[in-house]
Amino acid sequence: DAKTTQPNSMESNEEEPVHLPCNHSTISGTDYIHWYRQLPSQGPEYVIHGLTSNVNNRMASLAIAEDRKSSTLILHRATLRDAAVYYCILRDWGKSGGGADGLTFGKGTHLIIQP
Amino acid sequence: KAGVTQTPRYLIKTRGQQVTLSCSPISGHRSVSWYQQTPGQGLQFLFEYFSETQRNKGNFPGRFSGRQFSNSRSEMNVSTLELGDSALYLCASSLGGEAGNTIYFGEGSWLTVV
């Protein structure tokens, strides 16, 4: 799986937007971009995923660069409950279906929310 | 809709023993995968099962094994436990393992080896 690069940590204030960057310069045309987050003492939680176009859901928005070499997870109004480690993961749909690879987690970004 | 359920949540074992962890996927999900999380190595993929067949395996020794039953429930087993096997073991399920499918994780089983 292609690698991703994320900042080790970021800090934001409560009720402000948060932009979490992810670089994936070696992304292939068949890689989906997935974001997961892990709250303390819990399993990872799905946040959002996309392939080429920007995506929105009730949790967040995913902005994908035109060349797909980077993406940004946007939390529109951070709350204390959003404090977690956020993982940006690439998943190759070209490999799946007959032998799905597991998710390859990096170190992620530790998001700190200040009240 | 019930989420991914893992049992037991916490357990303590002695070096040399074996352990079996259980996972019930979300209803309708046929793909089950397992991960190990440690402070040093982070989250690492163990293996993935689909329709009772192991389709993929991470880089772990043969002491780590698993199986999936016809109802998609899965178990993983670790034999001859070592201190380094102390970790959070996470089970995840999805519809079919395709890259566009969402993967849902359980809360994990905390294993301590003493």
Cβ–Cβ below 8 Å for A49 and B46: no
Q: Name the token pair of A53.
A: 């176009």
Distance from CA of A40 to the nearest CA of B (A): 11
pLDDT in tens, A88-104: 998 876 654 444 567 88
What is the distance between the alpha carbons of residues B83 and B114, in angstroms, rounded to a whole number?
6
Q: Could you tell me the CA-to-CA distances from A112 to A35, A61, B85, B104 in Å, in that order? A: 17, 19, 30, 24
φ, ψ (nearest 5 deg) of residue B83: -55, -35
What is the distance between the alpha carbons of residues B100 and A94, in angstroms, rounded to a whole number?
10
What is the distance between the alpha carbons of residues B92 and B5, in angstroms, rounded to a whole number?
9
- Residues A59, A82 contacting (CB under 8 angstroms): no
What is the distance between the alpha carbons of residues B112 and B47, in angstroms, rounded to a whole number?
21
What pLDDT score was predicted for residue A101?
Answer: 60
From first to last of its 114 residues, what are the pLDDT tens digits of chain B?
579 999 999 999 999 999 999 999 999 999 999 999 999 889 999 999 999 999 888 999 999 999 999 999 999 999 999 999 999 999 999 887 566 678 899 999 999 999
Across the range A54-66, mean pLDDT stands at 95
Q: Pick the residue of A96, A107, A109 with the most B CBs within 10 A to test the interface with B by mutation.
A: A96
- Residues A62, A48 contacting (CB under 8 angstroms): yes
Q: Pick the residue of B103, B104, B107, B110 with the most A CBs within 10 A to test the interface with A by mutation.
A: B103
Higher pLDDT pick, A10 / B103:
A10
What is the distance between the alpha carbons of residues A108 and B79, in angstroms, rounded to a whole number?
31
What is the distance between the alpha carbons of residues B34 and B47, in angstroms, rounded to a whole number?
6
- Look at the block and give the residue holding tokens 């395709």: B98
> What is the C-alpha end-to-end distance of chain B, expressed in Å?
37
What is the distance between the alpha carbons of residues B84 and B99, in angstroms, rounded to a whole number?
31
What pLDDT score was predicted for residue A99?
Answer: 43
**Pairing label, strands B109-113, A45-50:** unpaired
Inter-chain CB pairs, A–B, below 8 Å: 75
Which chain B residues are closer than 8 Å to A98 by Cβ?
Answer: 55
Interface of A with B (CB under 8 A): 30-32, 42-46, 49, 51, 87, 91-107
Distance from CA of B6 to the nearest CA of A (A): 11
